[in-house]
Amino acid sequence: MAADVSGGELAKTSGISASMLSRIERGLVSPSVETLERLAQGLHVPTSRFFSDQARRTDFCHVRAGHGVLVDRIGAVADYRYELLGHLLSGNLFVEPYLVTLLPGADPYVTFQHPGLKFLYFLSGEVSYRYGGKSVAVGAGDSLLFDATALHGIETIQVQPVSYLSVVFTLRE
């Protein structure tokens, strides 16, 4: 049984009989959508888990330290060094993890704006980070998570060197 739950426990927490669960497991019965929802709640997973093709989801990406793909940036963010740390080709979620390092000539830049959610984890330095009309002081160990459709970026650089992990999550079209 998934999630380290016995069949009896799952049947009880899902509100279905143990015999019905057994018949579903053996492929003797096709469960209703309501039954699938109950099972998903009992397993604490989304109902969509039952419909995804997990056997075909085999993407795995390993990038050794210092071997990410350097992404060239021109214009105002030319001195922001972006190292792509991985990628996956399957599924409907596009994830872009970057190690961002501000080089000595980097200037503040507060007009990043793009679809998706962004997670930042600061590894070194101290900056003020602007998000829409809000500005927050951040330093090593601090993290930010936000909707990236609002204007955002580093407003001022207080302590260098500045580096942070940036992960952008967007849905594929």
Which string of DSSP letters, residue by residue, matches 12-55? HHHTS-HHHHHHHHTTSSPPPHHHHHHHHHHHTS-GGGGTS-GG
pLDDT in tens, 99-145: 999 999 899 999 999 999 999 999 999 999 999 999 999 999 999 99
SS3 at position 72: coil
| Assessment of whether the complete model's pTM goes beyond 0.75 | no
SS3 at position 86: coil
pLDDT in tens, 58-67: 677 888 898 8
Q: Is 127 exposed, middle or buried (0-12, 13-18, 19+ CB in 10 A)?
A: buried
| Residue 124, token pair as written in the block | 């070194």
CB 109 within 8 A of CB 154: yes
Question: HSE-up of 78 (CA within 13 Å, CB side)?
Answer: 4
Residue with tokens 């210092």: 66
Question: HSE-up of 133 (CA within 13 Å, CB side)?
Answer: 0
pLDDT in tens, 11-59: 788 888 877 877 777 677 777 778 878 887 877 777 766 666 555 556 7
Which domains, and CATH codes, for the chain? 2-51 (1.10.260.40), 69-171 (2.60.120.10)
